[in-house]
A and B are shown apart, each in its own frame.
Chain A
Amino acid sequence: GAGVSQSPSNKVTEKGKDVELRCDPISGHTALYWYRQSLGQGLEFLIYFQGNSAPDKSGLPSDRFSAERTGGSVSTLTIQRTQQEDSAVYLCASSLLDRGGTGELFFGEGSRLTVL
């Protein structure tokens, strides 16, 4: 079975350009998360989608960041007018939530973004 798939695996862009990062979650997983991992740092929560509920956008660092999830499956993270501090690995994860509201997160291998 396929795991979480992210594309592109690597993206180099110039400051000021827009980028789109794509995540294909595991089929049937209702929850989808985006995290950012800067060099040598932990995992910074960005946004969370659960079913048809309104997404939790509380982790997005600025209004240049946005994400959508179409049809409850594929998600796209968009960064507008990229800055050098946006350089990081962007990780997507999906999960099934049990009744306790917990569930193992299955991560993709990430999209490494470098802003020159």
Chain B
Amino acid sequence: GENVEQHPSTLSVQEGDSAVIKCTYSDSASNYFPWYKQELGKGPQLIIDIRSNVGEKKDQRIAVTLNKTAKHFSLHITETQPEDSAVYFCAARAPWGSARQLTFGSGTQLTVLP
């Protein structure tokens, strides 16, 4: 089955700086890669996703890049703000007809220092 590795497990940045979280996946058939943000005491919430037919996607201060050859993808947050502090999870899913559940990484605790 799919295996997703996520690094780093914790990340502290100064407000205004950028944050980068990296993930690798094992199943070359995976074609959908979402990122979820989990605030304290809440369930994870989708913030951005990318499909395997594109290499980069942006939404305001967040962007995700995908390298299918290397089987890794990254989340980039620019101009970080205190409200970006949360746990971030990457995930991967194999195509329709295979296992349909998302396989999540182990999470990154991001702390934005004021």
- Chain A residues near B (Cβ < 8 Å): 4, 31, 33, 35, 41-43, 45, 48, 50, 56, 58-59, 91, 93, 97, 99-102, 104-105, 107-110
Contacts and interface: CB of A to CB of B under 8 A. Distances in A.
A102 B46 CA distance: 13
A97 B106 CA distance: 24
A19 B36 CA distance: 28
Contacts, number: 67
Q: How large is the interface on B (under 10, 10 to 19, 20 to 34, 35 or more residues)?
A: 20 to 34
A107 B6 CA distance: 21
23 contacts: A4-B43, A33-B102, A41-B106, A41-B107, A42-B6, A43-B89, A43-B102, A43-B107, A45-B102, A45-B103, A48-B100, A50-B100, A56-B99, A91-B43, A91-B44, A93-B43, A100-B95, A101-B93, A101-B97, A104-B46, A105-B44, A107-B44, A109-B43
